[in-house]
Amino acid sequence: MSDLVLHVTGARPNFPKAAPVVKALARHGLAQKIVHTGQHYDDNMSAVFFRDLELPYPDINLGIGSGSHAVQTAKMMTALEETFEQERPALVMVYGDVNSTVAAALVAAKLGVRFAHVEAGLRSFDWTMPEEINRVVTDRLSDLLFATSVDAVAHLAREGVDPDRIHFVGNPMIDTLLAHRHRFDGSRVVQEFGLDGAYGVVTLHRPGNVDEPGVLAELVAAVRGVADQVPLVLPVHPRGRARLEESGLFEHPNVHATDPLGYLEFLGLVAGSALVVTDSGGIQEETTVLGVPCFTLRPNTERPVTITDGTNMLVTPASVGGAVAASLATERGTTWPVPPLWDGSAGERIARIVAAELAG
């Protein structure tokens, strides 16, 4: 067994979470390698993040690509098992709730390799979400659980996780946001679409929203209603592009579709926006820190702290238009609540705990 820390990443949400942990562990002098499963492989969904975040390029790229949940996860497990046996890491670090996360967790647990889950304890209690299954399975198997919020700690405690394994460290994705905020720049997109006043940003990609024709039709009607009030920019996730095009959403003159954006450009666009309408998870956290009103088109969220201590609101297709109208009519505050420990030091807290564990 080596003293190597092996980071397993694979999808766009993983990279801003991993970047501050990798940098902090390097300051502690720990040996590290980054594995990229290739779950997201498009340049705008993957490689651009390594450039934008000044994150070392992966030492190992498995190139798994797309597929059904079962096919993709199985391919990842096969490739990761070989990688773990070759590298023999002292600790594997996994991030978030994507298929790469649960695949690495299952392989590490079966090989007896210790692993840590960054962003542990988030719960939507919605078992129709594949991410919820990934979160619960990963946490059940983890040796170290790094929680981003107090409610996440409480969930883990209720599930019987040994308190010694749970560490409330704050949110490393916010470390990344704060470290790079001075570099945010959405001006290219603003100029391209001639947005000379207030505008909103929309993201829609969850399978439960874009894969079901009836649900999608309802959402499209709701987004068109928002676009009647304010111009919208919609970076289009590759997996939902065809369905959104077929839906007629892009035919609305106030809906401006664009390819996926890099981290700095996307958050520059969000930071300058009047509001965000989304079904994503991470953007609920980013808008909370940026002070941008966020309307989440879902019946639940695994990040309720963004509602109690942030700028997020759960909305339905029927209610989002009224919520947006009220927001546009309200002057934006100059201060807003931010969750505890979302202060830019989560990566260092994680690194200190990891270094102590490996030394012990």
Is 32 within the bounds of a domain?
A: yes
Q: What's the length of the chain?
A: 360
Reply yes or no on whether the pLDDT at 350 is more than 90.
Answer: yes
Q: Are strands 115-120 and 91-95 parallel, antiparallel or unpaired?
A: parallel
- The yes-or-no answer on residue 28 being catalytic is no
Say if residue 165 is in the same domain as residue 189.
no
- Domain that residue 9 falls in: 5-171+342-359
Reply yes or no on whether the pLDDT at 252 is more than 80.
Answer: yes
Say if residue 57 is in the same domain as residue 163.
yes
Is 253 within the bounds of a domain?
A: yes
Q: What CATH number corresponds to the domain at position 188?
A: 3.40.50.2000
| DSSP 8-state assignment for residue 67 | -
Is 346 within the bounds of a domain?
A: yes
Is 333 within the bounds of a domain?
A: no
Say if residue 149 is in the same domain as residue 201.
no
Which of 205, 237, 252, 256 is catalytic? The answer is 205
Reply yes or no on whether the pLDDT at 267 is more than 70.
Answer: yes
Q: Which residues have a Cβ under 8 Å from the Cβ of 30 and sit 6 or more positions away?
A: 3, 5, 351, 354, 355, 358
Phi, psi of 148 (to 5 degrees): -95, -15
Q: Where is average pLDDT lowest: 41-45, 59-63, 162-166, 261-265?
A: 41-45
Q: Where is average pLDDT lowest: 4-13, 238-247, 256-265?
A: 238-247
Say if residue 150 is in the same domain as residue 193.
no
Record the tokens describing residue 106, joined without a space.
Answer: 């299952």
Say if residue 151 is in the same domain as residue 78.
yes
Say if residue 107 is in the same domain as residue 194.
no
* pLDDT tens, position by position, 278-307: 999 999 999 999 999 999 999 999 999 999
Average pLDDT over residues 162-190: 97
Is 176 within the bounds of a domain?
A: no
Say if residue 303 is in the same domain as residue 349.
no
Is 77 within the bounds of a domain?
A: yes
pLDDT for res 334: 87
Q: How far is CA 341 from CA 126, 149, 266, 309, in A?
A: 27, 8, 24, 12
Helix axes 213-227, 320-328, angle to 10 degrees: 20
Say if residue 30 is in the same domain as residue 154.
yes
pLDDT for res 237: 80
One-character DSSP codes across 139-170: HHH-SEEEESSHHHHHHHHHTT--GGGEEE--
Reply yes or no on whether the pLDDT at 67 is more than 90.
Answer: no
**With bands split at pLDDT 50, 70 and 90, how would you rate the model's confidence at 242?**
confident
Say if residue 79 is in the same domain as residue 212.
no
Is 208 within the bounds of a domain?
A: yes
User: 3-state class of 213 per DSSP?
Assistant: helix
Q: Which contacts of 352-356 are long-range, i.e. CB under 8 A and separated by 24 or more positions?
A: 352/28, 353/144, 353/146, 353/167, 353/169, 354/5, 354/25, 354/28, 354/30, 354/91, 354/93, 354/116, 354/144, 355/25, 355/28, 355/30
What is the number of domains present in the chain? 2
Is 334 within the bounds of a domain?
A: no
Say if residue 59 is in the same domain as residue 95.
yes
Say if residue 139 is in the same domain as residue 88.
yes
Say if residue 322 is in the same domain as residue 353.
no
Let me know: does 266 contact 258? Beta carbons within 8 Å. Answer: no
